Amino acid sequence: MAATVTDFHYGAVTPVAAYLMACLGSALGLRCTVRSIRREARSKKNGWLSLAAVSLGCGIWTMHFIAMMGFRANGSDITYDTRLTVLSLVVAIAVTAVGVFLVGHLGSGARILAVAGVLMGLGVAAMHYIGMAAVQVHGSMHYDTVTVALSVLIAVVAATAALWAAVTVRNLWSSLGASLVMGVAVTGMHYTGMAAVSVHADGMGTTSAQSSIDQLSFLLSMIAGPLVMLVVAATIVMFDPDLVLGDDARPAPRADAVRRGTGTAAGLYDPLPADVNTPVRHRR
């Protein structure tokens, strides 16, 4: 028999929390990618890109499983396959790394953004559906093909937009705005994919309070690690003023130096002589 499916067992709590996690991961990923572009040393560039990939991957994955806390199928207990759940996290980080490393090292040309966006979007969709494959019910799960295709398209567009924002949006407030939009896109992809799900229960399972507690406990234990990683990434960002402020952290040149064109890297400015034939005295 067809089971009644809901994604909002706890009301607005899970979608709002999922959205906030998607925004956090996007914001950290964008800022770390911006910093990687500024660094010339390859090792430091790779370090920032790796942190961006972990932030984005953990943010997207945590969003998915926080949202799954609200998933229920009437007439069936729900459990999760641990190996597939962990695999979905690995996929989320790996495909995000492919996208940010391509853009970070090869630039932001239209072709690079398109290729990286498609690969990253397909990977995010794969993460989602691997995570769904980990869901075990008393019966079978089915998917509407058109809705699944729409969720994949949203994932590709969202990934491409995230990569574009990462290489073009430098200002802190602009990055925060972009992360809010990205949160909508990523969360929207998740719930679009969930709209494709239908459950056919075999009539032998029951939805019990203990089952709900077990499901919640499992998901909370699984997201603990990625949450710690996001906290670590956020701490690194907060203690790096240039990473937080971006272009706003760069001091503006002194007005008199701009007019005369005599600013030096050390911050010392020699006024132009009144007579161009007068020798310039250099400071010692």
Are 58 and 158 in the same domain?
A: yes
Count of alpha carbons within 13 angstroms of residue 68, beta-carbon side: 28
The DSSP 8-state label assigned to residue 250 in this structure reads S
In the chain, % of residues over pLDDT 90: 43
pLDDT at 254 over 50: no
* Co-location of 102 and 221 in the same domain: yes
- State the Cα–Cα distance between residues 118 and 116, nearest whole angstrom: 6
**pLDDT confidence bin for 2, thresholds 50/70/90:** confident
For residues 255 and 233, state if they share a domain: no
pLDDT at position 164 is 85
Span 78-104, average pLDDT: 92
Q: Is the pLDDT of residue 61 over 70?
A: yes
Q: pLDDT of 9-31, one tens digit each?
A: 889 999 999 999 999 998 898 88
Per-residue pLDDT at 200: 87
Same domain, yes or no, for 282 and 232?
no
**pLDDT confidence of residue 168:** 80
Tens of pLDDT, residue by residue over 189-198, are 999 999 999 9
Q: How far apart are CA 115 and CA 222, in angstroms?
A: 31
Compute the distance between CA of residue 128 and CA of residue 19 in angstroms, rounded to an integer: 15
CA 215, CA 210: separation in Å to the nearest integer?
A: 9
The whole domain housing 256 covers 251-284
The token pair at 157 is: 């567009």
Mean pLDDT of the residues in the chain = 81
Residue 263 scores a pLDDT above 60: no
- What tokens does 276 get? 């161009």
Residues 164, 24 share a domain: yes
User: Residue 206 pLDDT more than 60?
Assistant: no
**What percent of the chain is predicted at pLDDT more than 70?**
80
The number of folded domains in the chain is 2
**Co-location of 179 and 68 in the same domain:** yes
| Alpha helices (H) in the chain, listed in sequence order | 13-38, 42-68, 82-106, 110-133, 145-168, 172-195, 209-238, 241-245, 255-260
Q: What DSSP string runs through 202-231?
A: -SS----HHHHHHHHHHHHHHHHHHHHHHH
104: nearest Cα among 59, 38, 181, 182:
38
Token pair for residue 186? 């990523």
**pLDDT digits 0-9 by tens, 216-230:** 889 999 999 999 999
Q: Are residues 81 and 127 in the same domain?
A: yes
Residue 256 has pLDDT above 50, yes or no: no
Co-location of 157 and 259 in the same domain:
no
Same domain for 159 and 263, yes or no, is no
From 136-150, 155-169, 203-217, the region with the lowest mean pLDDT? 203-217
Whether residue 258 is found in the same domain as residue 227? no
- Let me know whether 220 and 257 are in one domain: no
Query: How does pLDDT run across 99-142, given as a tens digit for each residue?
Result: 899 888 887 788 998 998 999 999 899 999 999 999 998 888 99
pLDDT band with cut points at 50, 70 and 90 for residue 272: very low
Give the closest residue to 102 by CA, choosing from 40, 11, 163, 169. Answer: 163
pLDDT tens, residue by residue, 165-205: 877 876 777 778 888 888 898 999 999 999 999 998 776 55
